[in-house]
Structure 1
Amino acid sequence: MTTDGRVLKGNETRRLVLGQAMRIASVEGLAALSIGRLAGELELSKSGVFALFGSKEELQLATVRAAERVYHDRVIAPALDRPEGAARLWALAENWLAYSRTRVFPGGCFFYAVGAEFDAQPGRVRDALAEGSNAWHALIAGQLAAARAADRLGADEEVEQLAFEVVAVLEYANAMSLLHDDASPYDRARTALRRLLGADPND
């Protein structure tokens, strides 16, 4: 096999492993991941999988980064063609609800699941999750600020508080839908968002 062929094969194996790792972690948590388990489930060489990641922590970090790419592609990127402010904010919220509702990850929102697992465990994995959480909050807050500047929100609205409430509504819908195996929390989330944000300008 040529060098290019080995690289392509290695990249494909990495994508395969990370796809399975994301599915497992969204349901069972990142602690459930192991190189041996993934190799066995995918019928791959354990030594080959180990060579791709080197340690359980590196596997966990790679899984988080892979999930971030999925999240960006499903939730963030499709909203970027909307005007800044209320329209983009609503697009982000609707994309998030669809991402959770359609079970892009079988355990619902990947980051809600693994965030609860690592929120009290200092280390590189927690730092990576916290960085992603901060970026998401900042994106929501930025769109709220743009909406306020365009008079789509009251001038006295506190952006950071409202961003906290928006994210809380989304995450609670995800949690209740999973717990009760029920899609109605997503409809309730939209009702709550309309109370917080006003009508969706994309309608």
Structure 2
Amino acid sequence: MQDHPGDGRRARGDASRRAVLQAATDLASVHGLDGLTIGRLASASGFSKSSVATLFNGKEGLQLATVAAARDIFFARIVAPARSESHRARRLAALLRNALLYSRNRVFTGGCFFAAVSADVDSKSGPVNEAVRAAITDWYRYVEAQAEQAVAAGELGSERPRTLAFELIALTEQANSRSLLLRTPEPYDIAAEAIRDRLRLARADDRALAMLHLAAPA
């Protein structure tokens, strides 16, 4: 069977879109979504302004596609690897470890993409802001669900799993912001120790606690 003449163009278009989005997510992690302009992205990606505008049908389309791409990366780096853990407390520990490593290893130059762009959407409305808000809310709810299920299964002893999840997420977010501010990876080790201590108080098992010993950066 012969390929349709348009298949090659579509494949090239998809490859171009992926390349531009890789640059877009990195730029937005530093400059925020408001700073993600077609001109700046064209310079960073090597594509022309007209090509970028055509690929995404304008700035809002570009921003929405960038949020979706960052969300896919966040899931692949943090959530997907942790799902192999059937033990809920260990899955929770794996999620937190992965979140720390994703930021510490600078998957995005500006640290956590969603921490970087959240300031853009705090008091705003519109499709782009709602997309960011939805991604962050889903992450919070997923961590809360793991904490609640670990407590229900008797793997953690917290009476307030939602509060526990709030505290644990706050530690990962503080590590990200302080590391960027002070330009040192030390906050990730401090956060990992604090998370380990908090899970120990909640009676997590030794295997879960061991997950929070971060290996040295490569």
Question: TM-score when scaled to structure 1?
Answer: 0.93
Distance apart, 1:120 and its partner CA: 1.5
Q: Does residue 114 in structure 1 map to residue 114 in structure 2?
A: no
Q: Does residue 19 in structure 1 map to residue 13 in structure 2?
A: no
- The aligned counterpart of 1:166 is 168
Aligned mates of 2:118, 2:18 — CA distance in 1: 23
Aligned mates of 1:201, 1:135 — CA distance in 2: 26
- The aligned counterpart of 1:201 is 207
For 2:90, the aligned partner's letter is A
Deviations for 1:72-121, whole angstroms, at most 9, x for unmatched residues? 11111110101141010000011111000000000000000001222112
Aligned mates of 2:163, 2:45 — CA distance in 1: 45
Aligned mates of 1:41, 1:90 — CA distance in 2: 36
- The aligned counterpart of 1:85 is 88
- Give structure 2 stretches of 5+ with no counterpart: 211-218
Aligned mates of 2:133, 2:53 — CA distance in 1: 26
- The aligned counterpart of 1:176 is 178
Aligned mates of 1:44, 1:178 — CA distance in 2: 29
Secondary structure of the residue aligned to 2:207 is coil
For 1:167, the aligned partner's letter is I
- Give structure 1 stretches of 5+ with no counterpart: none
- The aligned counterpart of 1:188 is 190
Distance apart, 1:43 and its partner CA: 3.0
Q: 2:46 aligns with which of 33, 43, 54?
A: 43
- The aligned counterpart of 2:216 is none
Question: TM-score when scaled to structure 2?
Answer: 0.87
Aligned mates of 2:147, 2:191 — CA distance in 1: 17
> Counterparts in 2 of 1:80-159, with a 5 A limit?
80-154=83-157, 157-159=159-161
Kept in 2: contact 1:18–1:66 (CA 8 A): yes
After superposition, the CA RMSD in angstroms is 1.6
